[in-house]
Structure 1
Amino acid sequence: MQRDERDQSTPWGTGLAVAGFVAVVAGVGIVVVSLGLIRVHPLLAVGLNAVAVGGLAPTLWTWRRTAVLRWFVLGAGVGVAGAWMTLLTMAALGPAMSGG
């Protein structure tokens, strides 16, 4: 018995919604924690981000082929990248925004 093509379709709408939610939660979480750590010491924030990504990357890499978990992996990747870009932008604009 062969499966129909429609049974194998990718749920793009639901998957992208899950990925978007995971991206927002991960991104906001990383930015908030990093800003708190930057107040203690900037290298602490950089170090913690590097250790966290280095520790999670192998696990997420193995999940990318699993039907449901791949959407979480996409969201986590987009969230981390967006958070890092936000933090770099805030660091670059920080002195200009404070008038210094």
Structure 2
Amino acid sequence: MTPSSAPSATPWATGLTLAAFALAVTVVTVVAFGSVLVGISPVLALVVNLVASAGAAPTLWVWSRVPLWRWVVAGVAAGIPAGWLILLAASL
């Protein structure tokens, strides 16, 4: 094996920063859109959130195989349920 074919070190600091940013953007987006939709109809908010999450899932699945994008996928995957929980707590 040549030195150039050796696996590179995982950039934990950069990756976790990117994941945290993706998580924050996702949480803000889910809560902002969800809170507006809850004002119109709680059922509409639920349906739109489920459809949006189901629609994003195939793209996130493909992106999870790319080294850079897997950090974004981790942040989004953690941000969606976190945003749902915050939206649920704010709606009660």
Scaled by the length of structure 2, what TM-score is found? 0.90
Structure whose CA Rg is larger: 1
Q: How many residues align?
A: 92
Identity of aligned residues (%): 38
Partner of 2:80: 80
Structure 1 equivalent of residue 71 of structure 2: 71
1:4 is displaced (CA, Å) by 6.2
Q: Which protein has greater RCO, CA pairs closer than 8 Å, 6+ apart?
A: 2
Gaps of 5+ in 1: 95-100
Moved over 3 A (4+): 4-7
Q: Quick one: which amino acid aligns to residue 44 of structure 1? A: L
Q: Deviations over 1:47-96 (max 9, x none)?
A: 000110111101101111101000110111111111011122223xx3xx
Secondary structure of the structure 2 residue equivalent to 1:9: coil
Aligned partner letter, 1:49: N
Q: Per the alignment, do residues 6 and 67 of structure 1 end up closer, same or farther by CA in structure 2, a change over 3 Å counting?
A: same
State TM-score, norm by structure 1. Answer: 0.84
Q: Which residue of 2 aligns with 1:50?
A: 50
